[in-house]
Structure 1
């Protein structure tokens, strides 16, 4: 069942190259976002955080580990699901704070929404043929 879930949809080479570029650039961005969090995964929000430590740890793992997974194209659907959940929470927090979608120099949920959209796209489309997933789990037509 898991192997079937991780099998990669066969897409043209040009689409696979585009997915590779997207995965690498956004994967690096997520690793940078997650780097500070992974240093103190259960307490990166500080002592007065409204979020339990284990959820902070999941977010840190999602961002840093998910970014690495995207770069490699390894377990892409799993990483995408984790990142989508993390970014959905980030969007919800920004919206509940009254932050606009775009703000010049202030807090906004633009970046979180873009990352959420990319996460959902990679969850639905997959990593493409240029990925570890394709090499390990094969492709489906």
Structure 2
């Protein structure tokens, strides 16, 4: 779950960039759904989001799907920002974008001039989330710290690993 491999500084910087972009967008939309933050981000608050889910997306009960989408987006955004449980968060966010595409934006195609807009944003965000799920968070993440600690016998501060094991070899 926490396993992450480094492909060098450029790959780690790219993964950090992907995570920051995903965090920014999903925190924005998740906070709008859950806390009525950011007017203009679509349905604002659980009640409006629930109505939208039941009417436009045909997902019932709307309250459950509104809460599920809001928690997935807000929680996934936090996870991406910190780089913790990145693979799981990436899968959840990918699933969120697949659901949004299938239930709301697929019918309008790849177009931003319609209402609702097309699935281009869902496609881009879903692809980035899938990258995070498949590759992991990279070196600049809590996942990397946890992975190093698990491989060292639990001491994340030790740069050379388990001292007892090092002394024996």
TM-score, normalised relative to structure 1: 0.84
Structure ID, larger Rg:
2
Change in Cα spacing, 1:85 to 1:12, as seen in structure 2 (3 Å) is same
**2:86 is the counterpart of 1:76:** yes
- 1:32-89, CA deviations, whole angstroms, 9 ceiling, x for partnerless residues? 0111112244762328813222232121111111011101101101111110110001
User: 2:24 is matched with which residue: 28, 34, 40?
Assistant: 28
Q: Which residue of 2 aligns with 1:99?
A: 108
Gap runs ≥5 in structure 1: none
Contact kept in structure 2, 1:91 and 1:112, CA below 8 Å: yes
Q: Which residue of 2 aligns with 1:44?
A: 49
Aligned residue pair count: 134
Bigger RCO (CA 8 Å, 6+ sep)? 1
Gap runs ≥5 in structure 2: 36-44, 152-169
Contact kept in structure 2, 1:100 and 1:109, CA below 8 Å: yes
Change in Cα spacing, 1:48 to 1:88, as seen in structure 2 (3 Å) is closer
The whole-number CA distance in structure 2 between the counterparts of 1:25 and 1:47 is 26
Q: Which residue of 1 aligns with 2:5?
A: 9
**2:136 is the counterpart of 1:126:** yes
Contact kept in structure 1, 2:83 and 2:137, CA below 8 Å: yes
The whole-number CA distance in structure 2 between the counterparts of 1:18 and 1:56 is 32
Contact kept in structure 2, 1:28 and 1:68, CA below 8 Å: no
Contact kept in structure 2, 1:7 and 1:133, CA below 8 Å: yes
Please list every run of at least 4 consecutive aligned residues from structure 1 whose deviation after the TM superposition is greater than 6 angstroms. Answer: none
Q: How big is the alpha-carbon RMSD for the aligned residues of Structure 1 and Structure 2? A: 2.2
